[in-house]
Structure 1
Amino acid sequence: MTNQFMNLLSLKTFSQSRYFHPMLLLASIAVGIVLRFSRLEAKPIWTDEFATIVFSLGNTFHSVPLDRSIAPDVLFQPLQPQLKDIGDAIERLFNESTHPPLYFAIAHLWLKLFAIQSKMVLLWASRTLSVLFGVATIPAMYGFAWLAFRSRVVAQLAAAMMAISPYSIFLAQEARHYTLATLFIVASLSFFVVTINYIEKRSPLPAWVGFSWVAVNSLGIATHYFFTLSLVIQGLVLSVIWIKNKINSPLANAPLIYWWRIVAVALGTLAGGLVWLPVWQNIHGSELTRWVYQDPLRNFLLPAIRLCLWANSMLSMLPVDIFSLPLWVVIVFGNIMIIYLIWIVRFSWRGWRWQIKQSNSSFTAKSLGGYVVSMLGLILVLNYGLGTDLTLAPRFQYIYFPVAIALFSYSISAYWMTATGQREFEDKIPLTQPLSPVMIVLLMGLMGGITIVGNFGYLQHERCDIVAKSIHNESQMPVLIASTHKHHGNTGRMMGIAWELNRLNQGTYHSSPLFLLAHNYQGLCKEAVCNDPNNDPGITLSETVAKLPRPLDVWVVNFHAPILIENQNCTSADARWRKVEGYRFRRYECR
C-alpha cells in the first residue's frame, strides 16, 4: 500500500514538471514512428501505390504494351526512376488519373532526394513520404485537441491514440496522399475550432486566421477532392450555430458583427475550390471512378456495416485476416472485437455525458460531435440517395477520422481525471485500479497497430500476395498471367502480382512468367479498329496462348470476357473462380 502511494505521489510530482508533457508527446511520436516504419517495404503493394510512384516519377502507364505477352521487366517499364521535370509529373497525372496534383508534386521532389537503384528502394522512399506526414499528424492532433478542449490530458490522449491507431498506421504505410489530406483536415478543423471560440466570445475573427484558413482549405482540396465534404459539413455546423444565435441571442436583430469574416472565408474557399470544377466534371464518367457508383438497394445494410468496421479500426483491431490465419483464430479474435466494441461504446458514452455536464468545452464538443454525425449522415445520403458509396474503401473515412479520435479522447479523459483525483465522477472508478479503463483502451489500440504492421487485419485493398503465392506454389511449368485491360488500374493489379512473384522467386524461378493485358475496346472509342470483332479480349487470349510453347499454365485474373482456350487442349484446374480482395482468378492447364 505504501509503495503504491509513493508511486502515485512520484507520478504526480513528475507530472507537474515542465518537461512532463513535452516528453510524453515525444514518447507518443516515437511509438508512432516505430509502428509506421516497421515492415514498411514488406507490405504488399497495390494498384494505387503504383499510380503514385509512376505519376510522381513523371512516367506513364501507356508504355506497357497491350494485347501481347510481355516479360516482367516490360511490365515494370513505368517504374524506371528517370525523374523528369515536375511539369511532366503533373501533366501525366491529369492525362491518366483523376486526382489533384499537390501530393504528387511533393512526391516528385521527394524522390529526387534518393539514389534509387532498385524497385524496393523506390517503394520504401515512396512510402516514407506518407509515413512522415502520418507522424506529423500526431503532434498536430495534440494541438487540435488542446485548441478544442483546453486540456493537456485530452491532448495527450489524442496524440497517443493517433500514434497507435490501426487506421492511422494503415494510411501511413501506403504510398498515397491520405496522410497529407488528414493533416490538412486537422489544420482546417483547428481553424474551425478557433472560429467557434470566437463566436462563443462574440468577437470578430482575426484577419490572419481567415487568410490562413482559406489557404489550408485550398491546399486540402488540391490534395484530395473529398476534402470538400469536410468543408461542406463545417459550413453546415456553422450555419446551425448562426441560426441558434439568431433565435436565442439578444443581438438577433443586430447586423452580422462577427460573421462577415466567416462568410469571407467561405467565399475565399469557394474560389479555391472552383478552380477544379473543369476536372470534377470529367471525374463522374471516368472508368477509374465507376466502381464507387453502386446500386444502393443491392446490398442495403452493407454500407452501415462497413462504417462500423472502419470506425472500429480507428480505435483497435485484432488479427482477423481469413487468408492468413486459421478459422478458429479469426472467430476467437472476432468475438473479442465485438465484445470490446460494445464495451467501448458504453465506456465512452458515460465519459461523454460527464464531460458535457462538467467541462468548459461542451459547446466545442457538441459542435465537433455535430460534425461527425453530419458527416456520417452525408455519407449515407450519398450512398442511398445518389448511389455513391464512400464506405467501399476505408481510406475515404479520413474526412472525419481526426475528429472521431479527438472526441473519443475527450470522453475517456473523464476516467483519467477521476483516477487522478482531478474531478469527481458520478460513477467512480475503484481507485484500487487507477486508470485501468484508459490503459485497456491504449493497450488494445497498440495491439491493433501491431496487427496492421503484421498485415493481419481487414483493411487491405488488394491481396496480390495471395494470388502470387497461389501461382508460385501450384505452377511447376511456364506461366502466362492474363487480364483484361481498360485503364491503368488493371495494369497496376498485374504489376502487383509480378512484384510479389519476384519477391517469392528471388531470381530462382524455373522460368520468368509472362503477362498479357488484353485491352477491352468495347465502348471506349469510335474508330473502326475498336469495332473490329477480332479485337476482343477473349480472342486476344486465345491467339496469345496458341503462340506459346507447351506445357503452359494460364492464370486468368480479373478477366471480364469469354475465355476461349478450351479448344487448344487447355482445361480448368479449378472447379470455380477463386476470390480474394481485389482479385478473381482461375488456373488453366494447357498440355
Structure 2
Amino acid sequence: MKSRHYLLLVGIILLGAILRFWNLDLKPVWLDEVITALFSLGRNYYEVPLNEAFSLSVLERVFTLNPETSCAQIAQTISSQSVHPPLFFCWMHDWLRWTQTLPLSWVWKLRALPALIGVVSIAAVYQLNRIAFSPAAGLTGAMVMAVSPFAVYLSQEARHYTLPMLLVILALLGLYQMQTDLYHRRIRLGVWVGWMVVNSIGFYVHYFFLLAFVAQVATLLINILTFKALPTLHRSPDAPHTTARTLYLHPRRAFLAVALAATGICLTYLPWLPTFLSHISRPETNWMKPFEPDWMDTIAPLYQLPIGWILMAIALPVEKQPGWLATLMVVLMVLFSVWLLWQVSGRFAQLWSTPDTHLATRLLAVFVLCVLLEFLAIVYILGKDITSVPRYNFLYFPAICALLGACLAQPSRGRQKGSVKSNHHSDIAGQSDPSDTLAERHAARLPRHTLTWAVLLVGVLSSTLVVSNLVFLKPYQPDQVAKNVQTTAETPLLMGMAYGDLQEVALGLSFALALKGQTGDRPGTDSRHYFTFLPKVRPAETTGTQVDDRLQQPSYTYVWENLARLKQPLQSPFAFWMVAPGLKRNEFPPTLSMLHSAGSSIGCVLDRDRFYRLGIPYQLYRCKQ
C-alpha cells in the first residue's frame, strides 16, 4: 500500500509537469512578461530604441541575455523602472545564465522556471495536507494543484506568481505546526525560524505577500483569542492511536511568541521599505482604479471574486467565442461549480466537526477569509480593484487547494450513526461527537472516488484548453494584433506605438515581438517591417533613447509632432499602423505626415475600414509620397 501511495504521488506530479510544460512557448509574450524578460535578461528600458524607426531584427539584441549583469544592478534598475521587488528577477537571471546553452527559445526558458516551481508546488501541497490532514488528503490536494486550470495558467506565465504561491504553501505548513506548538506549549525553533525566513523572502518576491503575512498573523491571533482549548490533535503518522485529551494554550505566552516572530520578520523588510513606499505611490499602479467610477464598479468585486473561484476548478472557452457559445460555456462552468460546492459542503462539515481535522480546517479557512477581507479593504478603502485581475488570487489559492483536497479525501459518513470516521480512521473512545447530526445532514452526495475522478477529468480538460491558448488568453492579445497588421503584408509596413510611460513601452514591445514571430522567419522581412515608439511629450523634452519620467501632461498633439519629424527608411507606398492607448476612434487624425530618410515628406491617409480595438485601439494609414 505504501509503494502504491508514492506511485500515485509520482504519477500526479508527472501529470502536473506535463500540463505545465506542454506548449510552453505557444502563447505570445505579453506586457508583463516583456517586463520580466527585460529585467531578467539584464537589460533595461534605456536599451530599447525609442523615437526612431527600427527593424524588427533589433529585438534580437534587446532580448539577448547579458550574463555580466549582477543582482545589485537588477535591483537598482527595478527600483527606478518598475514597481516590483527584485528577488524573482535576480533568480530568473541566474536561471537564464544556467540554461543559456540549451537549444531552446528564450521565451521557453523564461517560462520554464515558473513552470518548474509550479511542479514543486504540487509536492508542497502534498506535504501540507499530509501533515495537516492525512496522506490520502495529501494525494488529493496534490491532484487538485496538478490539474487546476488556474494553477496551470499561472505556471505558464513568465511572472512571479508560482514562486510566492510556493512560499505561501510553505508558510501555511509552518503556520499549522506553529499553531500546534502553542497548544503543546513548546517552541520548535526550526519550524518558527523557517516560517520567519519564508515570510521574509516572500516580501522580496512579490509585494502582495505582505497580505499573506498579515493574514497569517491574524489567523494565529484569532485562534489564540477564540480557540483556547484543543480537544485532540492530529496524530503523528508513526503513532497507531490517538488518545482523547484536551490541550490548553497559554494566551500571554502565545501572544508573546507570535509578536516576537512577526517583529523579526518586519525587521527584514526595512532595507527595501523606502523603495516599497515609493513604488506604491507611483502612477503605474493607478490602472487598477476605475476610469469613471459608477455604481457598477461598486458591486463588481462581489461577482468578480466568485468568477475567480470558478476558474480554479474549471475553465472553458469564453473569450473570442460566438455569443451563444460563450453563454453556454459560462452556464456549464457555473453549474459545475455549484455542483462541486454542493458535493464538498458535507465533507467540509465533517472536517470542521472532527476533532482531529478541526484545527487545520479552521486555520486554512480563517486564512482565506482574512485575505479576502484584505482584498475588499483594498477595493473599497484604497479604491484599487484588484479583484478584476483573477491571477492575484494566487495569494490564497494554495489554501483553497488544500481544503478542496482534504474534502475530496474525506470518506462518506453517516451509515454508522454515532461513529466518528475521519480519514485517519481514529476514534475517540467512549465519546460521541455532538456534531454528528450536522455532518450526517450534509453527508457526501457522491462516493469519494467518483467525485475525485470528476474533479480530475474536468481539471485535465480545462488545463488542456489553457495550454492550447483557448482559455486565459494573454491580455491585449498581441498575436491577434500582429495577425490583423499582417493583412497589409503585401506592402512594407511601419508600426507606431504612442507611449507616455514605461509600461506602454513594454506593451509596444509585446506587439513588436508578436509581429516578428509571425513574419521574422521570412526572407527579406527585416527590410520591410519596422517599428517605432512615439512619445506623448514635446520633441525637445526627450533626448536620445532615454525616457524622462518627470515629463507631465502627455498629449497626442505631441505624438503627431514627433511623427512628423520621424525619419523612416521605407519606400512608398507602405502601410502605417498607429497604436494609440486611450485614443478614441474619432480622435485619429484623417491625415498624418512623416519624413523619408532622404528628407522628402510622406503623407498618410486614414483607412476608415481598418480600425481595431483589443483593449488598445490601433488604426491603419496608407502612406505615399
TM-score w.r.t. the length of structure 2 is: 0.83
Instruction: Tell me whether 1:83 sits opposite 2:67 in the alignment.
Output: yes
Change (3 A) 1:115 1:305: same
Change (3 A) 1:548 1:253: closer
Give a deviation string over 1:410-434, Cα, whole Å, max 9, x none: 2232357899997897366688x77
The within-5 A match list for 1:52-451 is 52-86=36-70, 87-115=72-100, 121-149=105-133, 151-199=134-182, 201-244=183-226, 256-294=252-290, 297=294, 299-322=297-320, 325-358=321-354, 360-415=356-411, 426=440, 435-451=449-465
- CA distance in 2 between counterparts of 1:247 and 1:197 reads 11
Query: What SS does structure 2 have at the residue aligned with 1:300?
Result: helix
1:558 is displaced (CA, Å) by 3.3
Other-structure match for 1:43: 27
Equivalent of 1:480 in 480, 494, 503: 494
Other-structure match for 1:507: 522
Does structure 1 conserve the Cα–Cα contact (< 8 Å) formed by 2:225 and 2:251? no
Other-structure match for 1:4: none
Other-structure match for 1:19: 3
Query: What SS does structure 2 have at the residue aligned with 1:242?
Result: helix
1:73 is displaced (CA, Å) by 2.5
Change (3 A) 1:585 1:271: same
Other-structure match for 2:480: 466
- CA distance in 2 between counterparts of 1:34 and 1:575 reads 44
- CA distance in 1 between counterparts of 2:319 and 2:524 reads 28
Change (3 A) 1:454 1:252: closer
Of residues 162-171 and 357-366 in structure 1, the stretch that sits farther from structure 2 once superposed is 357-366
Does structure 2 conserve the Cα–Cα contact (< 8 Å) formed by 1:484 and 1:560? no
Other-structure match for 1:8: none
CA RMSD across the alignment: 3.3
1:476 is displaced (CA, Å) by 2.8
Change (3 A) 1:50 1:366: same
- CA distance in 2 between counterparts of 1:273 and 1:21 reads 41
Change (3 A) 1:563 1:64: farther
Q: Which amino acid aligns with 1:32?
A: G
Unpaired runs of 5+ residues, structure 1, are 1-16
- CA distance in 2 between counterparts of 1:45 and 1:251 reads 54
Q: Which amino acid aligns with 1:225?
A: Y
1:52 is displaced (CA, Å) by 1.5
Change (3 A) 1:567 1:39: closer
Query: What SS does structure 2 have at the residue aligned with 1:112?
Result: helix
- CA distance in 1 between counterparts of 2:465 and 2:188 reads 45
Of residues 161-170 and 62-71 in structure 1, the stretch that sits farther from structure 2 once superposed is 62-71
TM-score w.r.t. the length of structure 1 is: 0.87
Equivalent of 2:560 in 529, 534, 538: 538
Unpaired runs of 5+ residues, structure 2, are 232-245, 416-420, 426-435, 542-546, 594-602
Give a deviation string over 1:32-79, Cα, whole Å, max 9, x none: 110111011111111221222221222112122222222112345321
- CA distance in 1 between counterparts of 2:131 and 2:569 reads 67
1:314 is displaced (CA, Å) by 1.2
Equivalent of 1:572 in 564, 581, 606: 606
Change (3 A) 1:576 1:372: farther
- CA distance in 1 between counterparts of 2:331 and 2:206 reads 36
